[in-house]
A = this chain, B = another copy of it.
Amino acid sequence: MLTNPNSDRVRSVRGLAQRPVRRRTGRFLVEGPQGVREAVRYAADRVVDIYLTPEAAARYAADIVDPARAAGLWLHEATPEVLAAMADTDAPQGVLAVVETHHGSLVEVLTARPSLLVFLTHVRDPGNAGTVIRGADAAGADAVLVSSSSVDIHAPKVVRSTAGSLFHLPIVTGLDVEATLTTLAAHGIRTLAADGAGTTLLPDADLTTAHCWVMGNEAWGLPQGIRARCDDVVRVPIRGKAESLNLAMAATVCLYASAGVVRFS
């Protein structure tokens, strides 16, 4: 049982909240039962350590402890104080894991002949990035692409917002925007810029062939140069007096329109 919240081990886990430490160690923090359970289920080979309070170990025996043991993973019991000292959030619900970072490859994604992708070109808000990853998973997207100028998807707040979806579909990071648009075009994937400046309304967009939603920055959208490089610029219709949807909502509506769920007539 780990009892010392000031130990070197605790400090090294806690350090993973910082990007330079993640980069140096190639590891990140997964907090809370949902994320840890999905990590064990879908990325067991990357799980380095799991920390639980005795209470959490009992509560999540079937969900986390048993499958983790079956996969030969390291489980450590720790006091609530130790968990709190390790965590970035106030309430990790008694469980967290250290997991090796993973960056999918664009080549692999394209080789699988995807029909639905989303590309975050300059998304800075961790909650938005995580929520788009969760929405992409739910809508059945094949992968999420992330530019080098976007937020680090292994930051604690992004990981929490994905609610485990980080382990469900390939996520390719560190991409150059222009080069990626060129590559997508070369593979016959239509690029649809989602932007309030679009002239094509979402109900009129051609979503029948393989395509990639291109999302810009929360505040200023997509630069004109990027919009011009896309095959179409599509606007989610706004019916009331709202100026716009937030980025995660717009992305989710677009992805669900692609999935055929949001039908417009």
Contacts and interface: CB of A to CB of B under 8 A. Distances in A.
Interface of A: 34, 38, 42, 127, 131, 134-141, 163-165, 168-169, 202-203, 236-246, 248-249, 252-253, 256-257, 259-265
23 contacts: A127-B127, A131-B249, A134-B245, A134-B246, A137-B242, A138-B239, A138-B245, A139-B240, A140-B239, A163-B244, A164-B242, A165-B240, A168-B240, A169-B241, A203-B260, A203-B263, A245-B252, A249-B252, A253-B256, A253-B261, A256-B262, A257-B263, A260-B262
A138 B261 contact: no
A38 B242 CA distance: 10
Contacts of A169: 240-241
Given A245-B138, A248-B249, A203 B240 contact: no
Identical copies in the complex:
2
A67 to B, nearest CB: 15
A137 B240 contact: yes
A257 B262 contact: yes
A248 B247 CA distance: 12
B241 A165 contact: yes
